[in-house]
Amino acid sequence: MADTAPAPSARSMILPEAVTVFLVAGCALVLEIVAVRLIAPYVGVSLYSWTAIIATVLAGLSAGHWLGGRLADAPASRLGGRTAAMLAAGALFTLAIPLLLRLLAPRLLGTDLDVMLQVGLLSLLLFALPALFAGAVSPLATRAALARRPERPGPVLGAMYAAGALGSILGTLAGGFVFVPYLGSLRSVLAVAGILALLALFQLRRRPQSLLLALGLFVALGGSLGFVAWRWGALASPCLVESRHFCIRVDDALALTGRPSRLLVLDHLVHGINDRDDPTRLYSPYLAAIDARVRAAFGARPFDAFHLGGGSYTLPRAWQGRARRQLVVELDPAVTAVARRYLWFQPDARTVVIHDDGRRALRRLPPVMRFDVVVVDAFRDIAVPFHLLTREFFLEVRGRLRPGGMLLLNLVDRRQRPQLAAAVVRTLQEVFPQVESWLELEEAARLDGRVTWLLVAGTELADPGATLDHRLASGYAFRQLAIPLEGAPVLTDDRAPVEPLLAEVLRRPELAE
């Protein structure tokens, strides 16, 4: 009796299509996570950049599903070739992202369009087409799987939907926990393009001539794109270090300061400038304002300081030798490592660094630990962690302050009608009996424009007068001004509309500069 080969199982019959859908869905979500890191050096990371990227990828996937459905209305023999074409197009447009970013971002961001529109257009131009071609694969693969198992359409559809959902979950986790931290954004893009290209070739595995032709086209087109991107410098990362949180750069600041110094850039914003030979030189007006207000309160007396946000570590470095104790909470260990290696920050026995979210770190301190000064310097331009501006957070800070202690935080907003600063002052007044708002003298004299406010709050603040003169130490002086609070909301953990309150700054290019 002749041997008969066992019939393939139902799972194995649709396995190639399910794996394809799983991997493509994962690639789309990896690209979505990586997209925010790619554009961060140009537009920062904020609610608006995340919103624009997510909306673009979802729109591209939706359009791709529609296109794939149209293409899937064909004989089963043609489905593999059409799937391969969509995968190949997705791979090539993904490979083109670094080059397009290099060409488009400087031109688009140099226009008079408001910041939100700039972010939206940049996201659309870079990521819509890769998402579209990725979205087209699922209907084609599902149609091919149904052709293999026409008698069981329900289980086939369920398996394909499950494969796509699981791929999306894995892609989200892999993008945030593996690709960006270990490969960086540019290599992650190249990896996604490579996976899509391999899947395209896999679709043609039973067609040797088509496989060889596709391989030749990939080599020619991909090589050409890679060569042009290399010549334009698009494959070089703009980051000195690309961490889980930031694109970190360090640039020489001698031309700005006239002294040996370096500046730290997190994503697209200069975070601080450190002087090599004199740590007490403060080139940023808001840091000079914090130092002036602390000097007015404590004079030569030592104090205990809690810094929420390390960044360039300019202020902790300047206060070494003056502060009795400093506790610095920095979210990103890579930022601390860069500050130690390039910005001359060396913690001493009285300066302790913790890597954690600032609010969580504050809550986890021993109950008896109190401070004279709490500095909140964790805001990066339009990227404002809302949970550090709420009434609940300020109550936690008040519980950590000694009598006569003070909270100091800086905010970017308008000179006239600063809506976010007004909301923060209103919220601080819910918690502290005394609240001050300060501007550097030149900024205070402006009719309007973008400025940096220093807000100070406490329960027993000594009156410093209307002006803080810090010109001998930094060249700056500061004026205390009242911010109109009419209509300003109280910010809470439940509702803190930070971005809408900054919308006017973002919509007007002359304010967003």
Dump pLDDT digits (tens) for 359-414. Answer: 899 999 998 999 999 999 877 655 678 889 999 999 999 999 999 999 999 998 89
CATH code: domain of residue 448: 3.40.50.150
Rg over CA atoms, the chain: 28
Do 197 and 342 belong together in one domain?
no
Q: Do 23 and 158 share a domain, yes or no?
A: yes
* Residue (of 494, 499, 500) closest to 392 by Cα position: 494
Q: Tell me, what's the pLDDT at 512? A: 45
List the end-to-end C-alpha distance of the chain, in Å, as a whole number.
84
Q: Are 86 and 133 in contact (CB under 8 A)?
A: yes
Quick one: tokens of 307? 């810094």
Return all residues near 193 (Cβ < 8 A) that are at least 6 apart.
91, 92, 94, 95, 222
Rounded to whole angstroms, the Cα distance separating 468 from 454 reads 12
Distances (CA, A) of 402 to 303, 321, 354, 399, 406: 10, 21, 21, 8, 8
Q: Which of 238, 266, 290 is the last residue of a domain?
A: 238
The range of the structural domain enclosing residue 429 comes to 282-512
The residues, ordered by sequence, that sit 6+ positions from 182 with a Cβ below 8 Å of its Cβ are none
Q: How many residues does the chain have?
A: 513
pTM of the model: 0.79
* Mean pLDDT computed over 175-202: 88
Are 219 and 296 in a shared domain?
no
- Which H or E element spans position 127? helix 115-148
The pLDDT score that the predictor gives to residue 5 is 47
- Is residue 245 situated within a structural domain? no
Mean pLDDT of the chain: 87
226 lies in the same domain as 373: no
Instruction: Flag the least confident range among 111-125, 226-240, 377-391, 454-468.
Output: 226-240
Whole-number pLDDT of residue 209:
64
The amino acid present at 303, given as its one-letter code, is: F
pLDDT at 426 over 70: yes
Q: pLDDT band at 345, cuts 50/70/90?
A: very high
Residues 139 and 207 placed together within one structural domain of the fold: yes
Greatest CA separation found in the chain?
106
Q: Is residue 380 in some structural domain?
A: yes
* Segment among 197-211, 258-272, 305-319, 483-497 with least mean pLDDT: 197-211
Closest by CA to 161, choosing from 34, 12, 8, 14, is 14
Provide the CATH number for the domain around residue 103: 1.20.1250
Residue 378 and residue 499 in one domain: yes
pLDDT for residue 42: 76
Q: In this predicted model, which residue has the larger pLDDT, 118 or 201?
A: 201
Q: Mean of the pLDDT values across residues 131-153?
A: 90
Q: Does residue 255 belong to any structural domain of this protein?
A: no
Whether residue 374 sits in one domain with residue 228: no
The verdict on 213 and 324 lying in the same domain is no
Asked if 457 and 314 sit in the same domain, the reply is yes
Give residue 233's pLDDT: 66
Residue 1 lies in a domain: no
**In which order are the strands placed within the sheet that holds 434-440?**
351-355, 325-330, 304-308, 371-376, 401-414, 450-458, 434-440, 476-480, 467-470
For tokens 């130690």, the residue is: 340
Distance (Å, whole) CA 513 – CA 499: 17
Asked which of 175, 209, 238 is the last residue of a domain, the reply is 238
pLDDT band of residue 513 (cuts 50, 70, 90) is very low
Task: Specify the number of domains making up the chain.
Answer: 2
pLDDT tens digits, 146-188: 988 888 888 889 999 999 999 999 999 998 888 888 888 888 9
Considering the domain boundaries, does residue 327 fall inside one? Answer: yes
